[in-house]
A and B are shown apart, each in its own frame.
Chain A
Amino acid sequence: MLAALLANGPNSWVWWAWIPDHQHEIYAYLREHIALTAMAVVFGIIIALPLAILAARRRAIAAVVIPVVNAIYTIPSVALLALLLPTTGTGRVPAVIALTMYNLAILVRNTLEGLRGVPVDVLDAADGMGYTPRRRLVRVELPLALPAIVAGIRLATVSTIGLVTITFIVDQGGLGRFIQDGYQRDFHTPLVVGIVLSVALATFADLLLVRVERLVTPWRSRSDR
């Protein structure tokens, strides 16, 4: 068993010689993976933040937005990509649209939770100090909701990195291209490379975002986390 795992040849789990030979592909697919993830997370934030702010203001909006984003999240990614395909064709557009749609559920729910978690006394104090609603939102509510928002961004980023691999269906895929290649040729090495790099990327992104969280919430002590 161990011998089979450690063997080094075209039929072993990792054929080391394959890796330097495919450096360019590794870089290109990694870049594509990061680009798709970054676009989906950024677009997700741009759409989800206003939605969550509106939903926190009015229950009627929350009653519509939450079920809708949850329903989207329920739809399997293969189906969502397939539903987009006839309109958008293959390529980056359907991939980013689908990935962004999945992020909405995570980001809206977490942001809303963060905004609703702001203590009423704090809001009263801000009102008493003469803050306008907009100023209160920007200076008080959003900063206090920031930890929950960043937690949402972390979840969204890590799950997007996993999901990108499936966009091979629309001729994208990032590292998923290696996984699909490994499947089609019944060849272990690209599959293993795809998995390892994808998990490593997710871990790295998560650690990076923890760092960002500390930078943007300097008022929180270590014990609050």
Chain B
Amino acid sequence: MHFWSFLVSVYHWLTAGDQWHGGDGVPHLLANHVRISISSLLVSAAIAIPIGAWLGHRGVGGTLAINIANVGRAIPIYALLVLAVQIFGITSPRGFGWTGSFVAFVPLVLLGIPPMLTNSYIGVREVGGELVDAARGMGLSEGEILRRVEIPVAMPLIMAGIRTAMVGIVATATLASFTGVDTLATPIYIGLNTNDNVAVFGGAVLVAVLAVVADLALAVVQRAVVSPGLRERRTRRQRVMVTVPPAA
């Protein structure tokens, strides 16, 4: 098939009416994908950021924080999904609560932890010195120093960690469609099994758009939560690649 006529069929696939409603429709798949991603990101952040920030504040556990990120990178993520299926079993592959499928939820939470833990550790650790001494001199308690000085100053790096985790989670939720979980990549999975290249390509377009939009959305959040005084530093810091998302 000529590539242009192929693209036209993809366009027709994307705009077909039955693509946009019903149990296999794009809105349903998109909702599941977003729900799984957000719930795992929140739980993952609730575990990783406090631990990383506290370790950074105390200045202990650095090797642990860095090594967790390195080990996380080496584990093939698809294997983690398959492992979850074999441990928990596919109880209801098409059923979803708020957390989506439990089978996808557990690996997604695990893979979100390393970048956020490492970045909040390094971010808080690097504040250090004069700023913390000044805060202590002003009579702030240790908890206040962490909450009101170290975390706000470390925010650029913490947000970079959150974005890294989000990219990894959205990508892995995509992969979860290969272990029987409904996500936006389900058309890719079905298309591959039925030799339907149009569905494969159309699904891929949808997934790619979602991933880029999710990253842009977090970039907007980042602008909102990072103090304007830190902006210049943020752009400098971001060039350094502290962590990369676990490959997915």
Contacts and interface: CB of A to CB of B under 8 A. Distances in A.
Are A and B a genuine interacting pair, yes or no? yes
Interface of A: 71, 73-80, 82-83, 85-87, 102, 106, 109-110, 112-113, 116, 152, 155, 158-163, 165-166, 169, 175-176, 179-180, 182-183, 186, 188, 191, 194-195, 198-199, 202-203, 206
B24 interface: no
The B interface is mostly helix, strand or loop, or mixed, namely helix
Interface residues of B, number: 46
A166 B188 contact: no
Contact of A85 (B177, B201, B212): B201
B76 interface: yes
B203 A82 contact: yes
Contacts of B82: 179-180, 182-183, 191
Interface of B: 3, 6, 70-71, 73-79, 82-83, 85-86, 167, 170-172, 174-175, 177-179, 185, 188, 191-192, 197, 200-201, 203-205, 207-208, 211-212, 215, 239-241, 244, 246-248
A49 B174 CA distance: 31
A175 B78 CA distance: 11
B241 A194 contact: no
B78 A179 contact: yes
B215 A166 contact: no
B174 A162 contact: no
28 contacts: A74-B212, A75-B207, A75-B211, A76-B172, A76-B175, A77-B247, A78-B174, A78-B188, A80-B208, A82-B192, A82-B204, A83-B205, A83-B208, A86-B200, A109-B241, A155-B241, A159-B244, A159-B246, A160-B247, A162-B74, A165-B78, A179-B82, A191-B83, A194-B79, A195-B79, A198-B79, A203-B74, A206-B74
B192 A169 contact: yes
A61 to B, nearest CB: 15
B200 to A, nearest CB: 5
B193 to A, nearest CB: 11
Given A78-B175, A169-B192, A183-B82, A159 B75 contact: no
Nearest to B240: A113
Contacts of B78: 165-166, 176, 179-180
Contacts of A85: 197, 200-201
